[in-house]
Structure 1
Amino acid sequence: MVNVTIGMAQIDVLVGDIPGNTCKVLAVAERAFQERQVDVMVFPELTLTGYPPEDLLLRPALQGRIEKALAELQAARLPVTLVVGYPVLRGGKLFNMAGVIQDGELIAEYAKQCLPNYQVFDEQRYFSKGQDACVVTIKGIPVALTVCEDIWHPEPMLQARAAGARLMLNLNASPYHQGKQQEREQILAIQAKAGDMPIVYTNLCGGQDELVFDGGSVLVDAAGDVCVRAAAFEEGVYTARLEWDGVAVHCHDGEQVPYLSSHASVYQALVTGLRDYVNKNRFKGVLLGLSGGIDSALTLAIAVDALGADRVEAVMMPFLYTSELSRTDAADQAARMNVSYRSISIEPIYDAFMAGLEPSFTGKPRDTTEENLQARCRGVILMALSNKTGYMVVTTGNKSEMAVGYSTLYGDMAGGFDVLKDVPKTLVFALAEYRNTLAEVIPPSVITRPPSAELAPDQKDEDNLPPYSILDQILALYVEQDQSAEDIIGAGFDRAQVERVVRLVDVNEYKRRQAPPGTRISERAFGRDRRYPITSGWKAGH
């Protein structure tokens, strides 16, 4: 029997920082060897560049930087075998590569064969497909390499088995969406059984723009059973202990961190996405408009959990229509969360605008113009504070509002990051209730009161929109499942409501194109997932 300890390096890297990422690989591997006597360290897909590097892959300087990084990894001559991902030119073609570095030498390379080109993935824009299996002997074991999407298709596993592999190392940069970990483990079970070999699945963690990588690295045995499961959203080295008897690889059970609940995983994804966006872009902190409503309340809680109360500022910006309850709840939550809080009335700013516009508005009735002007006054205040303090403005619009355009350009959409951009309104309420189970930081009245933008007397969201319980179902069918209006009506929804919602989604593409990025938690978020033309004659009826 040969005993082998494999470290799954579930790390967070910075896209484009090839020198910094290379140093992190060396530091993590050396520490894992010293503290855990790891024999092999498996790092995520494209570790050296981070994922996704997008058009950085087209930069002429890329190849030289990657070659330098590989030389540094080899020169370190670590007493552990490194398996690491990187992009590299070979024969004039760019490949998504996994390489094996042992005793100071690059002894094997595997080029990713299955290049995803759907949802948020665009790999066929950059990479050429690999063709061949790669089986390399490590500690006497014939080991195959694959990269991310390869494990979702049967051919690479069967190819590796035919080439003599008895263990699979799979490098991943697999982004999060709700239920993703369970999907992964189902696929891994199928592939492990098909290849009759264990799979060591190492995944990236951390946030990159709108994407979040949740880790969840895992070891499954040849029967498809989970032997080790890493924590979600946490960096760390997780060890897989194996035995090789010359015929098959046997797995020891190790740490198996339980799944997070659905709401806990979404909440942690939002925290991770904001934290890494702020920190990796070197913002001092964030500020937001705290209205006393549910969206800003949840956003504040996420911001504090992501960055700490000392890096978060909240601003109440009341107007004539702001209720006393909103003012009280905003101040209450700010006190509960111990954040810097101030109140700046928009009335004098609004009045100044209206005075300047009076000659142009004379004779025209009041409409949404005056409502939008209130939102834009608030946007001006927040951006001015941002410029003065260096804190980034986080906006508070949710997916339901973004879908139907219930937001104001250069007003409540003004900011650098939208925490709730992919969170439907009904889920906003559920997440607020979840957060209060950890500690009651959101005043209960914020959760129980009817939602209102408070831009007009006694205004309620449902004055202009279907109830959110109905709206979110229609939006899920139309936006996330691409069903037609007629299909949705056929499912039992009111025709007038469906046709109005669908039209609002279609005509507000121009707003969404100008919105800040936000964390993706679904399989169809606004942004990289859903690329529709602004100018279009498409009708969504059928």
Structure 2
Amino acid sequence: MNRFRLALVQVDTVVGDLDGNVDRVLATLDGVADCDLALYPEMTVTGYPLEDLVHKPGFVARSREAVERVAAASGSCALVVGFADGETDAGPGEPSAPAYNAVAICHGGQIVGTYHKECLPTYDVFDEARDFAPGVGPLALYRIGGVRVGLAICEDLWVAGGPVERLLVGGADLIATVNGSPYHLGKQDARESVVAATAASSGRPVAYLNLVGGQDQLVFDGGSMVADPSGRIVARAPRFDEAVLIVDVDIELDGPGDGPSSGDALPVVEISDRVERHDHLVAPPVPPLDEEAELYGALVAATRGYVLKSGFTDVCLGLSGGVDSALVATIAVDALGPDRVHAVLMPSRYSSGHSIDDAQALVDAQGIDAHLLPIEEAHVALANVLTEGIGGGRPGPSPTRTCSPGSEVYY
């Protein structure tokens, strides 16, 4: 029995921010130094999804340079880091060289292996076949901490007869899959079912690392996990938050005469030997989210990602005293912190006393900056301008005035 120490590093990357993403990885290295293997999300150094950015001249070369910086900082813990790979970037007038959705295996200051994603999704929010070529190279296993590790990227795990099945038939002791799997309600249950079924049917543990954070129209919810050989989920990372999940997995290694037949066996790249461990790290339990908490977590993550990754620092919103604006303000505070949220209270003739009081109570409870800006005079002035400009009727507070048969003006 081999006790294998695994780190699932659930970080929030930014599309196109190669230097920043490298720094995010480097900041985690001390925390995973005692592990055999650390997994990072799909397209770690470039961010995900890349879409047309991968076609920008020089981008693939910069992606390789970024992952080489990570590799140079690697030590005894093997790192699996996502990046955009390719031979060269095309010059002016040249056909573009294929790019690959890839991971690099980094150890001892260098890249010791790469894997190109084979199964490219082209459904729902995905159109990866437009931007990447499928991996076609021969599969290999990586002996890390004495364990034969098979690597896969996201969709590879979901396709029957795909690379994960070939890795298992070829002798993998552990499947490690890195993902950029976006959120929708109920998606985590589907992921856990696939991970558990793969582990149970093969009798091999499966580690599943997912991206976290909002990126444009997508939300990545984390929820990384490890399943033991029986298919039981033995460790979970939080949803919608960055986290480093470190867990010990006991792996039964094949004895003499066991393992795949010679015709099925995959080549093994030797990286690191077994480490004797007498302690046993057990991941703390992560309580499941109910439906409301899950949806709220997605809204907070989406807001945080959109605001900060778009280069904004603060947000300003109107508070009416109603439930809708109260919810928006609460999401903003949980996403950004109260110091970055500014509210404007705009009472008019339609504002009841309790709605103004409710808005002020929310401001006080959330500790946000607020400004009182009565709009009655502005409302009357605009009503008069519209009435005079369009003609007919009298100026005043009425919300609608008919100015010709069959038409109405709203103000």
Length-normalised TM-score, structure 1: 0.64
Distance 1:184 1:361 in 2: 59
CA separation of 1:252/1:32 partners in 2, compared to 1, >3 Å: closer, same or farther? Answer: closer
- The answer on 1:353 being equivalent to 2:382 is yes
1:447-526 equivalent positions in 2, closer than 5 A: none
Match of 1:430 in 2: none
Instruction: For structure 1, list consecutive stretches of 5 or more residues without a partner in the other structure.
Output: 374-542
CA separation of 1:123/1:314 partners in 2, compared to 1, >3 Å: closer, same or farther? Answer: same
Q: Deviations over 1:462-504 (max 9, x none)?
A: xxxxxxxxxxxxxxxxxxxxxxxxxxxxxxxxxxxxxxxxxxx
> Alignment partner for residue 98 of structure 1, among 83, 87, 103?
103
Distance 2:287 2:357 in 1: 39
Length-normalised TM-score, structure 2: 0.83
> Alignment partner for residue 213 of structure 2, among 195, 202, 206?
206
Higher helix share: 1
Match of 1:162 in 2: 169
Q: Is the 8 A contact 1:219 1:227 kept in 2?
A: yes
Distance 1:252 1:335 in 2: 43
**1:202 shift after superposition:** 0.7
1:57-206 equivalent positions in 2, closer than 5 A: 57-90=54-87, 92-131=97-136, 132-155=138-161, 156-206=163-213
Distance 2:408 2:284 in 1: 58
CA separation of 1:2/1:196 partners in 2, compared to 1, >3 Å: closer, same or farther? Answer: closer
Distance 2:77 2:254 in 1: 24
Higher relative contact order (CA 8 A, sep 6+): 2
Tell me which amino acid in the other structure corresponds to 2:299: L
- The answer on 1:265 being equivalent to 2:262 is no
Instruction: For structure 2, list consecutive stretches of 5 or more residues without a partner in the other structure.
Output: 89-96, 260-279, 394-399
Distance 1:331 1:105 in 2: 58
Q: Deviations over 1:299-328 (max 9, x none)?
A: 111112222222212112233323333222
**1:94 shift after superposition:** 0.9
Higher strand share: 2
- The answer on 1:343 being equivalent to 2:372 is yes
Tell me which amino acid in the other structure corresponds to 1:366: R
**1:125 shift after superposition:** 1.7
Distance 1:128 1:41 in 2: 26
Match of 2:243 in 1: 236
Distance 2:363 2:20 in 1: 37
Q: Is the 8 A contact 1:108 1:134 kept in 2?
A: no
Q: Is the 8 A contact 1:109 1:134 kept in 2?
A: no
Match of 1:54 in 2: 51
Match of 2:230 in 1: 223
CA separation of 1:322/1:172 partners in 2, compared to 1, >3 Å: closer, same or farther? Answer: same
Distance 2:152 2:196 in 1: 16
> Cα RMSD over matched residues?
2.4
**1:18 shift after superposition:** 0.8
Q: Deviations over 1:317-358 (max 9, x none)?
A: 233323333222222222222222223232322333333333
Match of 1:295 in 2: 324
Match of 1:366 in 2: 401
Percent identity of equivalent pairs: 38
SS of alignment partner, residue 193 of structure 2: helix
CA separation of 1:360/1:55 partners in 2, compared to 1, >3 Å: closer, same or farther? Answer: same
- The answer on 1:40 being equivalent to 2:37 is yes
Distance 2:337 2:26 in 1: 30
Q: Which has the larger radius of gyration?
A: 2
Q: Is the 8 A contact 1:168 1:199 kept in 2?
A: yes
Q: Deviations over 1:370-406 (max 9, x none)?
A: 54x4xxxxxxxxxxxxxxxxxxxxxxxxxxxxxxxxx
Distance 2:212 2:70 in 1: 22
Distance 1:130 1:194 in 2: 25
SS of alignment partner, residue 154 of structure 1: coil
Distance 1:109 1:369 in 2: 66
